[in-house]
C-alpha cells in the first residue's frame, strides 16, 4: 500500500543554508586547474547545470567561503529571479555557489533525487511563489524552504518513482551530450573549410536582419526571451495564452532563422531554429538573422555567427560602449569581416547531415520531457500509483526507444 505522510522539508534533510551572498567579482578568474566553478542562478537547470555562462573564482575565495561549497547531491534553489527553480549538483568536483539556497540531503531519510523532483511539482512551486509575494526583495529564504510541507511515501515507493523519472532524465542528458559532440564536429569541419577561403566579406553580405512584427493570430504561443536560447538550443517550448502579452514579445521568426541576443553577448544567448515557428514570438532583445539564400545556406551562416572570432568581436564592440549593460545591434554584427569564397556545396551538405541528427535528438528529448512533465506531478502526489504501472509503462515505451 502506498502510504504518504507530510513532513516539513527541514525534518527530512540535514541542513538548509544559503550560499555566498553579495558581490564576488573581485574573486573571478579565468578557467584553470586551480580555479573553482561558481554556480549562480543562471546556471540552474531542471536537468542538471547549464555551464554555458559559468564563471570561476580563485581557490583562495573557495577555501575562505566553506559555507557555500558544494558537494555531490546538494540541491540548489534559486533565491530570486526564477524563485524556487531547482537543480541537483551531479558532480564530485569542487564548486562554490552564489545567491542560491543549498539543501544538504539526508540520503538515509529521503534521496536527493526525490527532493529535487519535489521542487519540480506544481504545489511546491506554488508554495514558494506564495512565500515571496509582498517581500521587499522578492527573495526565497532558508526558513521558507525548511518549513515547506512536503508529502513523502515509504522508501520503496520513493525509489520506484526516482527510477521512472530518472530514466527519462538520463536519456535527455545522453541526447544533450551526443548533440554537444555533434556540434563540436560541425565546428571542426567549418574551421577546416574556412582555411580554404581566399576572399573576405562581411556578415552583412551573408545575412539579413529580420524585423517582422506581424501579429500572431494563434490562441496559444511560445514566448522566447534572450535567456531562453543558449548556445544554439531553445530551452523550452511552453505554450502561453496569446493575450495580455508583454510589449517586447513581438518578433516573428521561422525555421532556419538565427536568434541572437543583443544584450550581454558574452553569455552566448543564441539559438538556431530547427522547427516550424508559426506560433513563436521572440523578445525585441533578440536579433532575428536570416541567410541570403542566393549566397549562403542558413546552417552555414549559423556557423559563421557562432564562430569564436565573430562572437568575440561582437562582444568587444558591445562592451566598449558606455551604458548600463553591454548591448549591441545588427549594425555591429554585420560589419564584422570573415573569410569566404570556397565551394559551399560540400560543407553545407556535411553540416546539414550533422544538424539533422541534432534535430532528431532534440525532438526525442522534447518528447521525453513532455512525458516526464506529465508523469512527475501525478507520481509525486500519489495520484498515479507505482503499484499499478500499466499507464507508466505505456508512456515510457512511447518515449524511450
3-state secondary structure 258-312: EEEECECHHHCCEEECCCCCCCEEEECCEEEEEECCCCCCHHHHHHHHHCHHHHH
Q: Could you report the per-residue pLDDT of 303-327, keeping only the tens digit for each? A: 999 998 898 999 888 877 666 666 8
pLDDT at 102: 96
- In sequence order, the 6+-apart residues with CB closer than 8 A to the CB of 327 are 262, 263, 264, 318, 321
507530510: which residue's cell? Answer: 6
Count helices and strands (H / E) in the chain.
11, 24
pLDDT at 236: 76
Q: In the chain, which stretches have pLDDT less than 70?
A: 1-2, 52, 81-83, 133-137, 321-326, 388-401
- The reported pTM is 0.79
Q: Is 48 exposed, middle or buried (0-12, 13-18, 19+ CB in 10 A)?
A: middle
Distance CA(48)–CA(39), nearest Å, equals 12
- In sequence order, the 6+-apart residues with CB closer than 8 A to the CB of 284 are 248, 250, 251
How many angstroms separate the Cα of 256 from the Cα of each of 39, 56, 276, 300, 335? 33, 34, 9, 10, 22
pLDDT at 392: 62
pLDDT at 44: 86
pLDDT at 133: 57
**Alpha helix ranges (H) inside 195-243:** 203-206
pLDDT at 134: 53
Say if CB 104 and CB 70 are below 8 A apart.
no
pLDDT at 85: 84
pLDDT at 341: 87
Angle between helices 345-381 and 155-194 (to 10 degrees): 170
Domains of the chain: 4-153 (3.90.220.20), 197-341 (3.90.220.20)
Amino acid at each position: 500500500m502506498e502510504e504518504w505522510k507530510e513532513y516539513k522539508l527541514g525534518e527530512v534533510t540535514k541542513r538548509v543554508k544559503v550560499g555566498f551572498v553579495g558581490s564576488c567579482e573581485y574573486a573571478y578568474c579565468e578557467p584553470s586547474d586551480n580555479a573553482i566553478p561558481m554556480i549562480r542562478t543562471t546556471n540552474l537547470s531542471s536537468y542538471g547545470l547549464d555551464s554555458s555562462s559559468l564563471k570561476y573564482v580563485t581557490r583562495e575565495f573557495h577555501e575562505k567561503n566553506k559555507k557555500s561549497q558544494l558537494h555531490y547531491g546538494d540541491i540548489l534553489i534559486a533565491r530570486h529571479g526564477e524563485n524556487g527553480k531547482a537543480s541537483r549538483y551531479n558532480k564530485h568536483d569542487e564548486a562554490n555557489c552564489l545567491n542560491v539556497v543549498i539543501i544538504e540531503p539526508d540520503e538515509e531519510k529521503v534521496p536527493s533525487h526525490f527532493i529535487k523532483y519535489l521542487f519540480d511539482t506544481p504545489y511546491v512551486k506554488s508554495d514558494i511563489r506564495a512565500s515571496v509575494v509582498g517581500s521587499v526583495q522578492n527573495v526565497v529564504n532558508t526558513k521558507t524552504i525548511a518549513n515547506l510541507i512536503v508529502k513523502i511515501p515509504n522508501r520503496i515507493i520513493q525509489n520506484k518513482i526516482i527510477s521512472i523519472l530518472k530514466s527519462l532524465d538520463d536519456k535527455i542528458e545522453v541526447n544533450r551530450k551526443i548533440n554537444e559532440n555533434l556540434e563540436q564536429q560541425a565546428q571542426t569541419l567549418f574551421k577546416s573549410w574556412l582555411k580554404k577561403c581566399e576572399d573576405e566579406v562581411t556578415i552583412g553580405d551573408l545575412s539579413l536582419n529580420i524585423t517582422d512584427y506581424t501579429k500572431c493570430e494563434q490562441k496559444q504561443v511560445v514566448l522566447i526571451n534572450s535567456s531562453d536560447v543558449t548556445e544554439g538550443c531553445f530551452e523550452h517550448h511552453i505554450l502561453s495564452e496569446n493575450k495580455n502579452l508583454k510589449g517586447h514579445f513581438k518578433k516573428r521568426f521561422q525555421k532556419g532563422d538565427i536568434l541572437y541576443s543583443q544584450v550581454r553577448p558574452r553569455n552566448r544567448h543564441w539559438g538556431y531554429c530547427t522547427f516550424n515557428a508559426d506560433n513563436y514570438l521572440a523578445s525585441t532583445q533578440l536579433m532575428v538573422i536570416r541567410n541570403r539564400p542566393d549566397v549562403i545556406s542558413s546552417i552555414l551562416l549559423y556557423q559563421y555567427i557562432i564562430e569564436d572570432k565573430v562572437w568575440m568581436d561582437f562582444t568587444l564592440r558591445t562592451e566598449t560602449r558606455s551604458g548600463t549593460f553591454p548591448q549591441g545591434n545588427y549594425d555591429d554584427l554585420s560589419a564584422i569581416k570573415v573569410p569566404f569564397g570556397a565551394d559551399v556545396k560540400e560543407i553545407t551538405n556535411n553540416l546539414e547531415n550533422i544538424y539533422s541528427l541534432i534535430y532528431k535528438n532534440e525532438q526525442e528529448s522534447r518528447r521525453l520531457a513532455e512525458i516526464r512533465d506529465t508523469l512527475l506531478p501525478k507520481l509525486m502526489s500519489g495520484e498515479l500509483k507505482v503499484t499499478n504501472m500499466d499507464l507508466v509503462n505505456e508512456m515510457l515505451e512511447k518515449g524511450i526507444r
